Amino acid sequence: MGNSNYIKTCFILLIPVMLAACGTAGISENYHDPNVDFSSLRTIAVMPFVNLTSDKMAGPRVRDTFMTSLLASGVVYVVPAGEVARGIARAGLAKPTDPSGEDIAKLAAIIKVDAVITGVVREYGLVRSGSASAGVVSLSLQLIERQSRKVVWTAATTQGGVGVWDRLFGSGGRPMNEVTGAAVNDLINKLFY
């Protein structure tokens, strides 16, 4: 009987630990240049994202979500995607997803921005583990300041994935739009806050 109570007690004590581990995986990295006054960056262009996934629409989807959320933050003005595309064409950028410092200066002068954000979508879609599946988004961004042509901020995040809860109960995880929003909000929080 004593051994049975010990096992029950251990199980009860493990429940909060297991529930804490059931949360969505979130990995984040961040760098801010300490010599830059981020409050002086008022207008930003977001370049098309590099898409390393098999989903051809992942880059545009994540970029659109990021641009909308960044504009909604009220901290900066985000140049509309069409204006950025026209600026890319006028500047004659060969690789808009990976612009050089000179490309940044040219584009920034044409569309009148203080900084440019580039990004890479590394993962986007469902991942499976046994019978469970869940959405995952992994991306990294960098902010390049117009005058110095330097990377003054960079951050990466991974949100979603199959957690303990999904494995135990076979749930499908959060929808892709929720996971994408969580990844985008994590990066925005690290940019100006």
Question: Model confidence at 13, in pLDDT bands (50, 70, 90)?
Answer: very low
Looking up residue 144, the CATH number of its domain turns out to be: 3.40.50.10610
Could you read off the pLDDT of 118-135 as tens digits, one per residue? Answer: 999 999 988 766 656 678
Number of domains in the chain: 1
Beta strands 25-32 and 50-51: pairing type? unpaired
Does residue 18 lie in a domain region? no
Could you read off the pLDDT of 53-104 as tens digits, one per residue? Answer: 999 999 999 999 999 999 999 999 999 999 999 999 999 999 999 999 999 9
- Phi and psi at residue 161, in whole multiples of 5°? 100, 175
Does residue 1 lie in a domain region? no
Domain that holds residue 46: 23-192
Does residue 12 lie in a domain region? no
The sign of the torsion formed by the CA atoms of 70, 72, 73, 78 equals positive
Residue 164 has pLDDT above 60, yes or no: no
**146: CB partners within 8 A, 6+ apart:** 104, 105, 108, 113, 114, 115, 116
